Amino acid sequence: MQTIRIKAPSSDTGRTPESRSSRHGDALPLLAGMAVAVGAVGAMLALTDIESPLRGPFTLFFLLAAPGAAIGAALRGLESWGRIVASVSGAVAVNLLTAQAMLALHMWSVRGGVVTITAIGSLIYLLVLVRRLRSRTPTRRTS
């Protein structure tokens, strides 16, 4: 049996695994900022009804990312993979329930759906922030 070894690139020689992984940690804020920008552009394109080939994919990204990020923030006690699966599943469920309710009430529109998903995601995230602030405030006991 032959062993195949992969040689490390010359730029990584002498670095520890911790220092190599810190490079990837620096990219997370950049990726998060790019995701927010793509979502904001998607919401803007849907709300202003601008014809663009990017309108569909960016709006779909916004519709999944807005409630998914809020649900992910609420589930910060879970491990990372469980949190990702739960937040994506929750985002799909929120979108489906919103669409079903709007169709049942004969109120469906693209703009209305984007506004409703924005409101639901913002409400979830606001509740998370209130819960975190409430848990940080010390309670005073008077004797």
Percent of the chain's residues with pLDDT above 90: 57
Query: Model-level pTM?
Result: 0.73
pLDDT score recorded for residue 40: 92
pLDDT score recorded for residue 76: 86
Number of other CB atoms surrounding residue 28 within 10 Å: 9
φ and ψ at 7, to 5 degrees? Answer: -80, 140
Provide mean pLDDT across the span 75-86: 90
Task: Say which residue the tokens 């923030």 belong to.
Answer: 73
Is the pLDDT at 62 greater than 60? The verdict is yes
Eight-class DSSP state of 10: G
Confidence of residue 2 (pLDDT cuts 50, 70, 90): low
Provide mean pLDDT across the span 55-68: 93
For 41-45, 99-103, 111-115, 133-137, which range has the lowest pLDDT when averaged over its residues?
A: 133-137
